[in-house]
Homo-oligomer: A and B are copies of this chain.
Amino acid sequence: MSATTMRVARLHGIGDVRVEQIPVPEPAAGELLVRIEACGVCPTDARKFAIGVNDGSYPFNPGHEWVGRIEAIGAGSDGWEVGERVYGDTYAGYAQYATIGIRPEGWSRGALALGELPVERAVFVEPLADCLHCVRDQAAVGIGQRVAVIGMGAMGVQIAAVAALAGGDVLAVEPRAERRALALRFGAGAAAEPVRWRDAAAQRWGGDAPEAVIVTVARAAVAAEAIDACAPGGRVVLFAGFGDEGVAAVDLNRIHYQEIVVVGSEWVGTPPHQRYEHYEAARDLLASGDLKLEELVTDRTGLDGVGDALRAVREQRSYKTVLLP
């Protein structure tokens, strides 16, 4: 039979994470109880740890990229089976158990059936869905298009990979050699250091500018340069949030005369044009085997190591950490 209490790592304030023993939640009507197998540690989680929670109250469980097997099923939740692997995107993942609704609510997509998708690949369902949104909806990458992706963090590599799958010719821009190599392995056609990327682009594309520039690093000057570097009629996608450095001096004449499109890409659930179908697409893409994203995982931790893991993510000392509770 099931446990009645569980371990959880929750935030109690800035820089204050505590591992506690609390009751296993009961699945309400329309909910599933899930035994968590793994949870991605996301830079958003690390930000909440470092600067505070602004969309909830303490104690707060920030994990929202989690995978597990159904333990119990609430009333009115037909069509699910105990033992089935599911994905959840509620703030509940730094724990041994979590509940999730079977229907979308607020920003949560609700439970998503995973089949037997491997656990460490499956933690990428939500991040990859955001990358699909970025590449398909916001950057509108097509066959043969010239695409520059700035920054090869774990999200940047996924974006580069998806843009290549969509037929784009991807130039990955990144200072660290090992990350450039990773980008090439995941489908980028070329890679360049930031200081010389525009030369590399001109060389690769016979003097033509990129038709899409996707910015995944939180630096306003990089975004302003992207607008300058983009081809006429092209698209500059701001995938990163810019934190305190969010104001840039932008050349409006370039936007006007070249009809450049500057657009944000936050996540698949940003109103008013939610595209939740990307969750299913991400799941199916991971199942196809074309994207072995588990290779991006560099660090693993248990619940007791969550504080260290959050610090490492925040300080960019870890590439992709997975919590195994």
> Which A positions have Cβ atoms within 8 angstroms of B?
28-30, 103-105, 132, 135-136, 138, 142-144, 162, 165-167, 169, 220, 223, 231-233, 238-243, 246-266, 270-273, 277, 281, 284-285, 288
Contact = CB atoms under 8 A, between A and B. Distances in A.
Contacts of A220: 252
Copies in the complex: 4
A285 B143 CA distance: 8
A31 B143 CA distance: 31
Give the dominant DSSP class at A's interface.
mixed
A258 B264 contact: yes
A262 B285 CA distance: 26
A242 B135 CA distance: 30
Contacts of A258: 264, 266, 270
Nearest to A245: B252
Nearest to A273: B233
Given A167-B165, A248-B249, A288 B103 contact: no
Contact of A233 (B29, B239, B249, B272): B272
B259 A138 contact: yes
Given A233-B271, A257-B264, A247 B250 contact: yes
Contacts of A277: 272
Contacts of A273: 233, 259
B270 A264 contact: no
A240 B264 contact: no
A51 B264 CA distance: 37
A263 B253 CA distance: 11
Given A166-B167, A233-B271, A263 B266 contact: no
A143 B138 contact: no
Contacts of A136: 142-143
A143 B166 contact: yes
B260 A256 contact: no
B260 A263 contact: yes
Given A143-B135, A288-B169, A256 B252 contact: no
B165 A143 contact: yes
B263 A262 contact: yes
Nearest to A260: B264
Nearest to A189: B288
A215 to B, nearest CB: 9
A264 B271 contact: no
Given A165-B167, A255-B262, A257-B270, 17 more contacts: A28-B29, A143-B165, A144-B284, A167-B167, A231-B272, A232-B270, A233-B273, A246-B251, A246-B252, A250-B250, A255-B263, A256-B265, A258-B264, A258-B266, A260-B263, A260-B264, A261-B261
A270 B210 CA distance: 17
The interface centre, meaning the residue of A138, A254, A264, A265 with most chain B CB atoms within 10 A of its CB, is A264
A115 to B, nearest CB: 9
Given A143-B281, A169-B288, A259-B273, A248 B238 contact: no
